A and B are shown apart, each in its own frame.
Chain A
Amino acid sequence: MNRSQRILIVHCFVGSLSLLCGLNVVAQAATPAPRRIVSLAPSVTETIFALGFGNRLVGVTTYCDYPAEALKLPKIGGFMSPSLEAIVAKRPDVVIGVSSATDPVKAREMERLGLKVTLISLASLRDILNSIKSVARLLGSPDAGEKLVHKITKQFDEVKTRVAPAPRRSTLLAVGLQPLVAVGGKNFIDELITLAGGENIAGNAAQPWLNLPDEYVVAKAPQVIIEAGMGSERERSAKYWGDLKSIPAVKEQRVYAYPSDKILRPGPRVGEGLEEIARLVHPECFAASKRESNKGSGCEGSRP
């Protein structure tokens, strides 16, 4: 091979490389945002609606009940057990699930069937906010994600400011009685409790949810008890805790039955959930008639 031939080959090589890279860039820019989305969890559904892409959802779980439009969407199965066939039948561009809840075997199955599956993590508040951003990016509108995260962060900050002057109140947040299932550590709700000016009595636990023995609750003497599970009901709560009068929450009648998805769902309404918790933990900081000026921070005054 003579010199000019060698130069030609090198030029061709370099040229095709850059062409390929260029094509790649073009290819990426040209990938269209997914238009048919299947959601495998209620919080994902809420996020997609909150980002403004509710019209792109072609399949949701039977538990997706917010916003109201979600109820009208076609169902592809339950939360823990989505139907593979139903999902495939919807011909989605992307399937979005939650890494702690979606069965990894099912996820692999879907990928093997040619579907694009994305699992987001909702374990902590940071995860929730990051997942909102990543879903927004996935759907081709990162700005919507930033906006939503900004809105939620603002909600957090407002609550934080409100409860800042008040001393922390030890709190128990439960989702079930008999057995008593409480929020533990490494749980986004635990973070909410902290942000709301409370201190989760089971916050040092390694598990996100745990069965608590009654003696532990008595010993930790929470000042506030919130029952947020579906089916929580005031009378039943009162009866359940009524005989443990040494618990400050029982003595001072700060046992609340407050079933709420905003508290329990790691989705875009988490800011509202925080406010709900804060109103229960520090009702005095949300007194309707906020005495201005001389009253200082606004968390004093008679408790409502």
Chain B
Amino acid sequence: MNPAIDTRDLSFAYKDRGVLHAVSLSVEKGEMVGILGPNGSGKTTLLRVLSAVLDAQGEIKLNGRNIATYGRRELSKLFAVVAQESHVNFPYTVAEIVLMGRASYHSPFALEGKKDLAVARASMELTDCLSLSDRYLHELSGGEKQRVMIARALAQEPEILLLDEPSAFLDLKHQVQVFELLRRLNRERVLTIVGALHDLNLAALFFSRLVMLREGKIYRDGSPREVLTEKTIDEVYGIRVRVEPDPSGEKPQLFICPSS
């Protein structure tokens, strides 16, 4: 069985600044992987390379096929991306935005059909934004916008979901909601999920596998307990923490130890 995502010696440089160095990562179908690392470690770049927005050196295979052999329309049915921020300069309603996720499923000359509308509606129900469907995107709060973006990604009916810091602008309640939704989707639909995360504690609670990046290279790859150690945190983030298990006893949680 081919892994959903398989990269080998992936390298990328912005002009002369190297961002990713020989990243070899393999994600099986149905896995839920969190990519961690401080700012500048290459998390976002890795996602952009995986979603074929950037061209990198090295090999990427999706479902066993080299990514270069896919057309963009095909790729958009294979994976969907939820970006950190969305800058939409034109007034679209939530329904219009979510329906754009169906672009690859109908002819560009035709309007959306019944199935497209049904899928869009279901996606909005899942992300709890159906009630916002006729509001304009730019009128929504950061959290509402994020839910709409996830709905759009789900409307693409992807096999793989890539998320870039999905909880960056959400309040605590919505952060937990988003992660619980992701876990549900992962279990019910066998959706492969790769997310770049900055909140280490939430990452530990919801993701079964964590990949820690440091200066563009994979530093650690494994279960939360293996990756989130005091030594690793110190070496990668440069801060001292204490690691204790959570109330269930299974997942590690970090306690920050300020120096003063």
Do A and B have CB atoms closer than 8 angstroms in the complex?
no
Query: Which residues of chain A have a CB within 8 Å of any CB of chain B?
Result: none
Query: Which residues of chain B have a CB within 8 Å of any CB of chain A?
Result: none
